């Protein structure tokens, strides 16, 4: 058996130096859903439809957030994608509903605050674990974001995401609008989403793909978010987001944070490097006012330096690679692919080298990618295969610069998906 191939970095990565088209720190709004329920929205209805039939509570709430100090409010387009609306037999109203919801928010903001467009999980899972292809999910988001851009949204916020495939699909679709794209996942107190994703590998993947900001929202309060955002801060090349829950004042779990306590706990997140903040479930205009006061008197720390830009990732794990990377022998995309990927865990290599001859190989690898616990490096024979492999890989991959294809095309495709070229 030949010796494993060793590749050495040949140039520095082009790291985003946080040149963002918005002012930092940025104060977002608070909760929409819990406040609208308190204002009379019944549980179990389609929120988007109820808001369009009852616009005053939404606009009053958004005006209150802006008066409290929000720099931006989110249009209530959270579930206005075709997949979610189909639950209410409203899938044919994507264009009309998104346009009207953004218009309501822009009217409420009246130029006093930015208006972001909200994207949520589709509720679908990609193959082989679900019924939808990755491209189908991208198309669902693309249909929605095209309307949101036309309606005049200032940025897109992909939030409360629970797996890397959904948020990658949303980012790929939203990037085509040319708008800034914020991305946040929701994790439990162990730091994991329902699918096992965690913040650090998500950050590494999304910032390399061109996300404008990455972070956490919902599920937990500020204190529970702190260790995960602090871990991510030194690896972030984009602003970090924290939009934690304040809890519900009438709940029995004792986790409700009044405005002053909420702001006090969020102060630690600012110290850790977060620069975009707001509130999720249970947060009111009073919570936003407390955050505004905090930001107006807070001196934020200097941005930490990235310790290792050569970071690969899969959904649940980040891999910080050294100056030299040892690749496995090429793994072919054939009937033995799954077994060969599992066997690689016993090899003394830094990454698995996967040979992609064509688009069919890329599709086969995507079905079996979850069998690998190591970083993945693609060696491709042509642009179509490489583009498909990187598009469907739910993480940040490497690309072998010695691939049998045009070098310019290789670098262009790798940059599109944030892959590391060796």
Q: Is 16 exposed, middle or buried (0-12, 13-18, 19+ CB in 10 A)?
A: middle
β-pairing, 311-314 with 395-396? antiparallel
Identify the DSSP state of 330: P
Q: Is 280 assigned to a binding site?
A: yes
DSSP, residue by residue, 214-252: EEEESSS-HHHHHHHHHHHHTT-SS-EEEE-----TT-S
Rounded Cα gap, residues 350 and 319, in angstroms:
9
Contacts of 377 (CB under 8 A, 6+ apart): 325, 327, 351, 352, 353, 354, 397, 398, 399, 400, 422
Measured CA to CA in angstroms, residue 66 lies from 29, 48, 336 at distances of 8, 21, 58
Query: Do 186 and 160 contact (CB within 8 A), yes or no?
Result: yes
Measured CA to CA in angstroms, residue 189 lies from 186, 214, 227 at distances of 10, 18, 10
CA 111-116-118 angle, 5° bins? 150
Which residues are part of a known binding site for Zn(2+)? 218, 280-281
């Amino acid at each position: 058996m030949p010796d494993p191939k060793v590749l050495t970095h040949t140039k520095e990565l082009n790291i985003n130096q946080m040149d963002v088209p918005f002012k930092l720190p940025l104060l977002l709004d608070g909760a929409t859903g819990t406040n609208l329920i308190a204002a009379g929205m019944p549980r179990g209805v389609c929120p988007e439809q109820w808001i369009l039939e009852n616009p005053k509570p939404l606009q009053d709430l958004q005006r209150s957030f802006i008066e409290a100090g929000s720099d931006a409010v989110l249009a209530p387009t959270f579930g206005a994608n075709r997949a979610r609306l189909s639950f209410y037999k409203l899938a044919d109203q994507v264009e009309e509903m998104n346009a009207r919801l953004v218009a309501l928010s822009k009217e409420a903001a009246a130029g006093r605050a930015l208006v972001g467009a909200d994207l949520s999980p589709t509720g679908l899972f990609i193959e082989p674990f679900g019924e939808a292809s990755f491209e189908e999910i991208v198309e669902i988001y693309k249909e929605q974001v095209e309307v949101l851009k036309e309606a005049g949204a200032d940025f897109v916020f992909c939030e409360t995401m629970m797996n890397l495939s959904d948020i990658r699909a949303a980012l790929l679709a939203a990037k085509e609008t040319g708008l800034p794209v914020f991305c946040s996942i929701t994790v439990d107190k162990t730091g994991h989403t329902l699918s096992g994703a965690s913040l650090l590998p998500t950050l590494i993947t999304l910032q390399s793909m061109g996300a404008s900001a990455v972070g956490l929202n919902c599920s937990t309060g500020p204190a529970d978010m702190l260790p995960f955002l602090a871990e991510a801060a030194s690896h972030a090349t984009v602003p970090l987001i924290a939009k934690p829950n304040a809890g519900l004042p009438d709940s029995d779990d004792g986790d409700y944070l009044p405005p002053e306590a909420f702001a006090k706990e969020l102060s630690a997140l600012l110290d850790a490097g977060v620069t975009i903040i707001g509130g999720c479930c249970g947060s009111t205009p009073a919570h936003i006012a407390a955050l505004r006061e905090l930001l107006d008197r807070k001196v934020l720390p200097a941005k930490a330096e990235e310790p290792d830009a050569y970071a690969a990732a899969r959904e649940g794990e980040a891999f910080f690679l050294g100056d030299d990377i040892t690749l496995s022998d090429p793994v072919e995309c054939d009937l033995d692919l799954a077994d060969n990927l599992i066997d690689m865990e016993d090899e003394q290599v830094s990454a698995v080298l996967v040979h992609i001859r064509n688009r069919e190989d890329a599709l086969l690898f995507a079905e079996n990618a979850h069998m690998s616990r190591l970083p993945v490096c693609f060696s491709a024979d042509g642009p179509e295969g490489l583009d498909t492999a990187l598009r469907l890989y739910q993480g940040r991959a490497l690309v072998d610069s010695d691939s049998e294809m045009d070098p310019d095309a290789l670098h262009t495709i790798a940059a599109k998906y944030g892959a590391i070229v060796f």
